[in-house]
């Protein structure tokens, strides 16, 4: 799989991911389900013809191929000046979380680079097998033994390449198709058209899965359908805030805390208002940001008499009111960013009011279309 959209908040880890390595300067983290599936695959691969060590070696090679696939995305994106926040390894593949949405030309090569890596790996392994072992018996690749680990990895890489080239989200093939369509039409329109192609493909896969009683194909069909829906929603959201400034969406009516206030004072504000995040002021300047989660954690750990200064986040996201709303949205994530001019707090940008801004823009856009 390729990178998700929209890009997550910088520095924010994917939920459930832990473990850390760095490959070509890119952080790589592993979702906890990745380890569960890895152990399960190793155990399932163990049989009389394949040892537990052989099964572990094959699974390690398989996930290593997926990791190299995602690294191909990251390195190609780097070539275009697009950084990668992290690569997250999942049971069904990986996710490369890029810092921004590539242009159509960039997306074509970023998306295509992953399957090309698997094609190169598969071709190289087949060439090695041919040179060392003669022509490999690929029709027996499902019969797992310690002797055919390399041929099976070769076939697995070829399957990964062709599966990812299916013209549907969230596979790379869907992004390749979108990049070609987006060269001649708006990104949102290209995304919707690609999603329709993916939905039709998902319906065909599901129908064949039902006829053949294949649960795996039905799961793949659902996976493709969900990917198409998610991509359309993300691209629509991006289109709705395109060209807008932070001052158009920020909250200007909000409550603040002082540096010397207690957790009890913060809890009273939490109950009295619908606000979830509170700027903490020290004189005329902003000292920090106290979120609802941090407030409750401090209340449980330190009690109501503790000071908010000990619980607030001093390294909070901050933006200017004339900044691009698209860029500011990346900082918000599911939380809040403070709008600061110089040392003066002028507003707050939260995930809730950002969603409301997009909803109103969507209504206005639909009203404009009906009025034409």
CATH number for position 329: 3.10.580.10
What does the block give as tokens for 92? 């069904």
Q: Are residues 93 and 36 in the same domain?
A: yes
328 and 200 within one domain? no
Q: How many domains does the chain have?
A: 3
pTM: 0.71
Cα→Cα distances 185→151, 191, 355, Å: 43, 10, 26
User: Which domain does 53 fall in, by range?
Assistant: 1-165
Q: How many angstroms separate the CA atoms of 50 and 327, rounded? A: 51
3-state helix, strand, coil in the chain (%, to 5): 60, 15, 25
Task: Identify whether residues 215 and 348 lie together within a single domain.
Answer: no
Q: In the listed set 121, 150, 165, which residue is the last one of a domain according to the structure?
A: 165
Identify whether residues 73 and 15 lie together within a single domain. Answer: yes
For residue 341, being part of any structural domain is answered with yes
The dihedrals phi and psi of 286, each to the nearest 5 degrees, come to -95, 125
Backbone φ and ψ for 70, nearest 5 degrees, come out as: -70, -35
Q: What is the pLDDT along the chain (372 residues), one digit of tens a residue?
A: 444 444 444 445 555 656 677 888 888 888 777 777 778 777 777 776 778 888 888 888 988 999 999 999 999 999 999 888 888 887 767 778 887 778 899 999 999 999 999 999 999 998 988 887 776 665 656 677 777 888 889 988 999 999 899 998 888 999 999 999 998 988 888 988 999 999 999 999 999 999 998 888 898 888 888 888 888 887 877 778 878 899 998 999 999 999 889 999 999 999 999 899 999 998 888 999 999 999 999 999 989 999 998 999 988 888 898 988 887 887 776 678 899 988 889 999 988 888 888 888 888 877 654 444
Using the 3D structure, point to which of 196, 216, 242 is the last residue of a domain. 242
Tell me, yes or no, whether 139 and 27 share the same domain: yes
């Amino acid at each position: 799989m390729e990178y998700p959209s929209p890009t997550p908040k910088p520095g924010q880890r994917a939920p459930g991911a832990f473990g850390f390595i760095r490959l070509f300067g890119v952080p790589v983290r592993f979702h906890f389900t990745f380890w569960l599936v890895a152990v399960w695959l190793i155990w399932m691969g163990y049989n009389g013809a394949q040892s537990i060590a052989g099964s572990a070696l094959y699974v390690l090679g398989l996930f290593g191929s997926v990791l190299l696939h995602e690294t191909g995305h990251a390195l190609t994106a780097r070539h275009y000046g697009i950084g990668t926040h992290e690569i997250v390894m999942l049971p069904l593949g990986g996710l490369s979380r890029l810092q921004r949405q590539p242009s159509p030309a960039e997306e074509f090569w970023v998306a295509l680079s992953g399957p090309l890596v698997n094609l190169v790996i598969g071709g190289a392994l087949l060439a090695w097998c041919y040179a060392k072992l003669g022509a490999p018996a690929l029709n027996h690749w499902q019969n797992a033994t310690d002797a055919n680990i390399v041929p099976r990895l070769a076939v697995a890489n070829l399957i990964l390449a062709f599966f990812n080239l299916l013209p549907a989200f969230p596979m790379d093939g869907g992004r390749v198709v979108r990049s070609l369509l987006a060269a001649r039409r708006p990104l949102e329109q290209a995304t919707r058209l690609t999603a329709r192609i993916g939905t039709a493909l998902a319906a065909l896969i599901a129908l064949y899965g039902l006829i053949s009683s294949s649960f795996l194909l039905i799961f793949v069909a659902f996976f493709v359908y969900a990917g198409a829906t998610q991509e359309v929603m993300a691209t629509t959201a991006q289109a709705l805030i395109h060209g807008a400034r932070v001052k158009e969406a920020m909250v200007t009516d909000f409550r603040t805390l002082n540096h010397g206030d207690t957790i009890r004072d913060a809890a009273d504000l939490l109950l009295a208002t619908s606000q979830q995040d509170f700027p903490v002021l020290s004189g005329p300047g902003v000292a920090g940001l106290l979120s609802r989660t941090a407030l409750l954690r401090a209340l449980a750990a330190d009690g109501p008499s503790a000071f908010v200064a000990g619980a607030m986040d001093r390294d909070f996201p901050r933006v200017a009111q004339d900044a691009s709303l698209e860029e500011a949205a990346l900082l918000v994530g599911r939380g809040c960013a403070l709008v600061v001019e110089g040392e003066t707090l002028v507003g707050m940008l939260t995930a809730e009011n950002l969603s409301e801004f997009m909803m109103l823009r969507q209504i206005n856009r639909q009203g404009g279309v009906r009025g034409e």
